[in-house]
A and B are shown apart, each in its own frame.
Chain A
Amino acid sequence: MESKLNLNPRLIDSARTAAGNIADDVQNFIDKNTTVTVERTVARLMGVDGVDEIEKPLPNVLIDAIKEGGGLAKGAAFWIGNAMVNTGKTPQEIAEKVSSGEIEITKLKIADENKIMEAVYDTANQMVERIKNSRAKRNEYLNTLGNGRKPYLYVIVATGNIYEDVLQAQAAAKQGADVIAVIRTTAQSLLDYVPYGPTTEGFGGTYATQENFRIMRKALDEVGEEEGRYIRLCNYCSGLCMPEIAAMGAIERLDVMLNDALYGILFRDINMQRTLVDQYFSRIINGFAGIIINTGEDNYLTTADAYEEAHTVLASQFINEQFALKAGLPEEQMGLGHAFEMNPMLENGFLYELAQAQMAREIFPKAPLKYMPPTKFMTGNIFRGHLQDAMFNLISIWTHQGIQLLGMPTEAIHTPHLQDRMLSIENAQYIFNNARDIGNEVEYKKDGIIQKRAQEVLAKAEELLKDIEKEGMFDTIQKGKFGGVKRSFTGGKGLEGVVEKDEKYFNPFIDLMLGGAK
C-alpha cells in the first residue's frame, strides 16, 4: 500500500526491529516462569471444572494443592498425568479426590515418564480437537451467514445479570451491532479465580464465567441466524486470570477478547512479571482459537494527554504486535487499540485524530484495528457527545478501522440504556454508508498538517522504542513512560502466583497450540 502520509519506511522498520528486541528480552523472562493461573488453565484444558462445597473452583483447589506440595515448578500437566497413570481416573475425578482429601497429588509414586506423557497428550489432544471444532463452527457460520462490513459495530452490554444482558444483546444485534461485549463486573480483574455458573448480580458488568459465555453464545447464534449475520461475542481476557478466560472463551467460541498485560499493569496494578507470563499463554490460546485480541492502548489516553502522548500509543502497538507474533497470533487477529480522545476544543484536533488513525492503518495494514470512542471529554451534554461520536465515526470509515467501539451519547452518565445503543448504531450506520469510500477518494496534502503530524508521531515513537530497547521493558514501566503511571517490578497484585520452572516442566498446550492448527 502506498503511504498517503509519506511515512518513512525505514523508520517503521527501525521501530519494528526495536520492538522485536524488546519482546525478545521479555520473552526470555517469560520462558523461565509459570504462574498459578497458567497451571489452572492447563487443568481446565485437561477437563477440570466445577467448584467445591465452598464455591472454590476445582482448578484452584488442584493447583493450590500442587503448589503447597512444592510441585508447581514441574507444571500441573506432570502431576495430573502422574495421577492418571497411578489411579486410572480422569483429571476431573482426580481433582474431586484432591478436593475431598482422598488424594495427595504430589505424594503419589512417580510413574514412568513415557506413560505420563502418553496420558497427558491423549487428554490434551481431545481438548485441542474440541477447540478446533469450535473454530470450524465459527468459520462455517461465517461462510453460510456471513458477517457485517468493517468497521464492525461493537457495543457493550453491562446489566450485571446475564439474562438481562441477553435481551439487550439481542436487541443490539437486531439494530445492527456486529460485536457484543459483555462488560465484566468491575472487581473481577482482581480475582485470582474464575467464578462458576450463571450469574445475575454484578456491578457495572456481569461476571465472566464459562456458563455465562455459553448462555450468551447461544443467544447470539440464535439472533445471528434470524438476522442472517454472524454476531461476534467479546469478553475480557485480562486481570489475574488471563489464560483461564482465554481457555473458556476458546471452548465456548468467543470471537474477540480484550487481552493486554500492559493495561493490567498500569491500570489495575497487577504485577508485571505475573501478567506478562499469563499473557503469553493466553495469546497462544487466542491465536489457536481464531480469537481477535484487542489491546488496551486507548486507555493510556484516559490518564495521559492524547495529543502529547500519541507516540506512546504507537510504540505500545509495535510492542503488542511483537508479543502477539511470539505467541503465534496472526496479524489478522491483532485488534491493536487506539482512541479518539483529544480535547474537542483543540484547533484542528480532527486532523490530528485523522493522522493518528491513518498512521495506525498504514503501519499495521492487516490488523483489525480497534478504535475507541471519546470518553474523557464527554460531559453529560448528550447532544454534543453525539456529535463527537459522529466525528469519530467519520474518521473510522475514512481510515478503514477494523472494530468500532461505538461511543454513547450518555457516556459519563450511566451504562447504556437500550435507546442509547440504538442512537449510536444509527449514527455509525449513517456515516459509514454516507461516506463509505471517502478514504479511497481523498488524499492528504504533501507536507500538510496531517502528513507532518503522522511523521512526527512516528519519529517520536521510534525514538521511544529505541530507548526502551536500551533500558528494557521492565525498567521503562518502572519509570512511568506509559500512561504516566509508574509500577515496580515486584509491586502490584499477583506476584506470589509466579513460580520459576523446573527443567522437567512441560505444558502440552503450548506445544500443541503455538503457531495455530498443525
Chain B
Amino acid sequence: MEGIQKADLMKIKPYGDTLNDGMVQMSFTLPVPYGDEASEAARQLAEKMGFENPAVVFSKDLGVGYTYFIMYGKCTHTVDYTNIEVPKVTMEYMEREEVEEYIKENIKRDVVIVGACTGTDAHTVGIDAIMNMKGFDGNYGLERYKGIEAINMGSQVPNEELIAKAIEVKADAILVSQVVTQKNVHIANLTQLVEMMEAEGLRDKIILVCGGPRISHELAQELGYDAGFGTGSYSNHVASFVVNQIVKKMS
C-alpha cells in the first residue's frame, strides 16, 4: 500500500479525487447546432486548450443553432507554486472600533472620504455596502464610523463631478465602485479618473481606491490606484487601508 502522496509544489495541477489527476470541470457554448458534430467540436477544442481525454458529459440545444456543453478534462499543464507572487494590500485589518481609535490617536481630525459609482454604472450595491450606515452582512458602513465623514455620491457620477466634490470637501480619499461592466468599460472609466486627477495635480494628495467584483488589487495598481478591493471586502478593510495611508503620508 502506498501512502498518500504529497503534492509537488513546483508542479501543481488540478485535483479531482487523486493527486495530479488534473481534473477540470468547465462549461461553455459553441455557435453550432446541437448534435454529434457539436460535441466533437467541443471535445477537439478542449484538446487544443491542453486537456487530455476531454469528455462532454452533457450538452443541450440552446435554440438558434447554438449548443451548451458541460465537460471534464485532464489538465496537462503545471504551475510552480513556490514562485508565485501576488501584490496585496499587505496589512492587518482593524475592526471598526480600532479604526476609530486609530484616527483619534494618530490623525486627530475627521477623515473625509468621498465615494461613487462612476461612469455609466448604476449599481450602487458595492459602494452602499462599504459606505452606507447599514453596511453589509453585519458590517456597518463608513457613515457609522466615528471620525470618518463619508459622502456617498451614488450612481452614474461623472469623473469630473467626483473630482469636483473631492476638492470641495477636501477629501482624504476617493472610493470608486464599478459593479456592472460590459466590454471592459470599467477599465477605461477607472483609467480616465486617474488621468484627470493627475492633470489636476491631485493624484499624490488624495488616496485613490477602487472596488468591485472584477477588481483585484493587482489590477488597481496597474491602473494607478493605491488599492483595489474585490468581492468579500468590507468597510473595515477599506477604512484600515485609508487611515494607514493617511498616516504614512503624514510622516
**Do residues B120 and A203 form an inter-chain contact, with CB atoms below 8 A?**
yes
Q: Spot the interface stretch: B46-54, B130-138, B159-167.
A: B130-138
**Do residues B180 and A204 form an inter-chain contact, with CB atoms below 8 A?**
yes
Which residue of A is nearest B154, CB measured?
Answer: A269
Which residue of A is nearest B189, CB measured?
Answer: A203
Q: How far is the CA of A190 from the CA of B122 in the complex (A)?
A: 11
With A380-B231, A418-B62 as contacts: A186 and B156 at CB distance below 8 Å: yes
In the assembled complex, which residues on chain A have CB atoms less than 8 Å from the CB atom of B180? 186, 204, 415
Q: How far is the CA of A418 from the CA of B179 in the complex (A)?
A: 20
With A303-B124, A380-B231, A484-B133 as contacts: A419 and B63 at CB distance below 8 Å: no
Which residue of A is nearest B179, CB measured?
Answer: A412
Partner of B182 from A175, A190, A415, A422 at Cβ < 8 Å: A415
Tell me, rounded to whole Å, the shortest Cβ–Cβ distance linking A392 to chain B: 17
Partner of A174 from B63, B154, B213 at Cβ < 8 Å: B63
Tell me, rounded to whole Å, the shortest Cβ–Cβ distance linking B96 to chain A: 18
**Do residues B213 and A413 form an inter-chain contact, with CB atoms below 8 A?**
yes
Contact with A along B8-28 (1 / 0, CB 8 A): 000000000000000000011
**Do residues A175 and B63 form an inter-chain contact, with CB atoms below 8 A?**
yes
Within 8 A of A (CB), among B139-160: 154-156
In the assembled complex, which residues on chain B have CB atoms less than 8 Å from the CB atom of A303? 124, 128, 132, 134
**Do residues B133 and A418 form an inter-chain contact, with CB atoms below 8 A?**
no
Within 8 A of A (CB), among B166-224: 179-183, 185, 213
In the assembled complex, which residues on chain A have CB atoms less than 8 Å from the CB atom of B121? 186, 204
Q: How far is the CA of A190 from the CA of B156 in the complex (A)?
A: 9
**Do residues A418 and B155 form an inter-chain contact, with CB atoms below 8 A?**
no
Which residue of B is nearest A485, CB measured?
Answer: B154
Tell me, rounded to whole Å, the shortest Cβ–Cβ distance linking B219 to chain A: 15
Which residue of A is nearest B185, CB measured?
Answer: A203
Which residue of A is nearest B213, CB measured?
Answer: A412
Tell me, rounded to whole Å, the shortest Cβ–Cβ distance linking A301 to chain B: 11
Tell me, rounded to whole Å, the shortest Cβ–Cβ distance linking A158 to chain B: 8
With A170-B64, A203-B182, A415-B182 as contacts: A267 and B155 at CB distance below 8 Å: yes
Contact with A along B224-240 (1 / 0, CB 8 A): 00000001100000000
Does A376 touch B at the CB level, under 8 Å? yes
Partner of A422 from B60, B128, B137, B179 at Cβ < 8 Å: B60
Contact with B along A302-335 (1 / 0, CB 8 A): 1111000000000000000000000000000000
Contact with A along B49-91 (1 / 0, CB 8 A): 0000000000010111010100000000000000000000000
In the assembled complex, which residues on chain B have CB atoms less than 8 Å from the CB atom of A415? 180, 182
Does B29 touch A at the CB level, under 8 Å? yes
**Do residues B29 and A418 form an inter-chain contact, with CB atoms below 8 A?**
yes
In the assembled complex, which residues on chain B have CB atoms less than 8 Å from the CB atom of A305? 134
**Do residues A187 and B64 form an inter-chain contact, with CB atoms below 8 A?**
no
Partner of A484 from B66, B132, B183 at Cβ < 8 Å: B132
Residue from B27, B120, B231 having most chain A Cβ neighbours under 10 A: B120
Contact with B along A385-419 (1 / 0, CB 8 A): 00000000000000000000000000011110111
Does A343 touch B at the CB level, under 8 Å? yes
Does B125 touch A at the CB level, under 8 Å? yes
Tell me, rounded to whole Å, the shortest Cβ–Cβ distance linking A204 to chain B: 5
Q: How far is the CA of A419 from the CA of B28 in the complex (A)?
A: 7
**Do residues A187 and B156 form an inter-chain contact, with CB atoms below 8 A?**
yes
Tell me, rounded to whole Å, the shortest Cβ–Cβ distance linking B166 to chain A: 19
Partner of B66 from A171, A186, A379, A414 at Cβ < 8 Å: A171
Q: Can you list 25 A-B pairs, Cβ within 8 angstroms, ordered by A?
A: A160-B182, A160-B183, A170-B64, A171-B64, A175-B63, A185-B120, A186-B120, A186-B121, A187-B156, A204-B122, A267-B155, A268-B122, A269-B154, A303-B132, A305-B134, A343-B137, A375-B125, A415-B182, A417-B29, A418-B62, A418-B66, A419-B62, A419-B68, A422-B60, A484-B134
| Beyond A186-B156, A302-B124, 6 additional pairs, beta carbon < 8 A | A171-B66, A187-B156, A203-B185, A303-B128, A380-B231, A422-B68
